[in-house]
Amino acid sequence: MILPDKFSLVFVYKPRSNTPFLHCLRYLLAVSSICSITRLMDTKQNTAREKDALQFKYLDLVMVSFTVILILSNFASSAKIIDWGISIRKIPLAFDAGTVFFPFAYIFGDVLTEVYGYSRSRRVIWIGFAALVFTFLMFWLIRVLPAEETWQAAVGQDAFESVLGGISFGGIVLASVLGYLIGSFSNSIIMAVMKKLSNGKHLWTRTIGSTVIGEFLDTAVFIGIASLTGVFPWELFWTLTLTNYIFKVAVEALFTPLTYVITRRLKMAEGVDLYSDLTDLNPLSF
């Protein structure tokens, strides 16, 4: 018997005599051959798994960028409300400062789903969620720890509470987490489904279409909960909701050419153009 190429060659001589000893010898040689094949196949499969796990050069960079922008947007939201002095039918276009950051998180979210697929995008969304929760918990700890006397006299706990207190407890934490999860998963799932339906064509329809829905859900949940819990005054509800939504969608649309460039270069660098498995869109998986 001669085994196929890439396997150990084992020759079994079939003698004319059928003594028990030769029967045993043939049996041992056959078992040895099978073991050699199994070991080689296992090695090949392990190598393939390792290659699959290490094949992406830039996924970690995209993930870190996404997470950093996400956390910075929550700092900014807690720190300041910006007013451009522009109104739409007597509704001032004021918005929380986190709005400046957050559209870029959606751009990275689009890139993740388009290049690496929904399953990896889902994993990054949950990693971002964990980073948010860790940030909130650490700033809550900082808030409750006793202040040093000189700092208390120069700056004071009240100043800390007014600027950073929002990301350490209460409504903005709940608003941020729920708005982020609902908006991000909606955006990613819509991107994955539209890519499959369009056969990978017309990227702009996916980036803008998913943002229109994802940002609406994110903005409505975030501003609604933050207003209900007293983080933002109710008189600013429509102002913040309208301005946040318009600004985020506008930034996504304006940066569509850059999104095209980034996705094209990443696909070339990674050597992939993945289509998501639409039977595996459960956001609760990791």
Give pLDDT tens digits along the chain (286 positions): 444 444 444 444 454 555 655 555 565 555 555 555 445 444 334 333 434 444 788 999 999 999 999 888 888 877 788 887 777 777 777 777 888 887 788 888 899 999 999 999 999 999 999 998 898 889 889 888 998 889 888 888 888 887 777 777 667 788 888 988 999 999 999 999 999 999 989 899 999 999 899 989 998 998 888 888 777 788 888 888 888 888 888 888 898 898 999 999 999 999 888 888 888 889 888 7
Domains and CATH numbers, the chain: 1-54 (no CATH), 56-270 (1.10.1760)
The pLDDT value given to residue 63:
92
Helix H or strand E segment including 147: none
pLDDT at 64: 93
Q: Are the C-beta atoms of 180 and 129 separated by less than 8 Å?
A: yes
In this prediction, residue 195 carries a pLDDT of 92
Residue 193 · residue 278 · CB < 8 Å: yes
pLDDT at 34: 56
Helix (H, G, I), strand (E, B) or coil at 91: strand
Provide DSSP, 206-259: HHHHHHHHHHHHHHHHHHHHHHHTTSS-GGGHHHHHHHHHHHHHHHHHHTHHHH
Measure the CA–CA gap between 148 and 107, rounded to whole angstroms. 42
Residue environment code for 123-136, b if the CB has 16+ CB neighbours within 10 A, otherwise e:
bbbbbbbebbeebb
Whether the model clears a pTM of 0.85, i.e. scores above it, the answer is no
> If you count them, how many residues does the chain have?
286
State the pLDDT at residue 1. 47
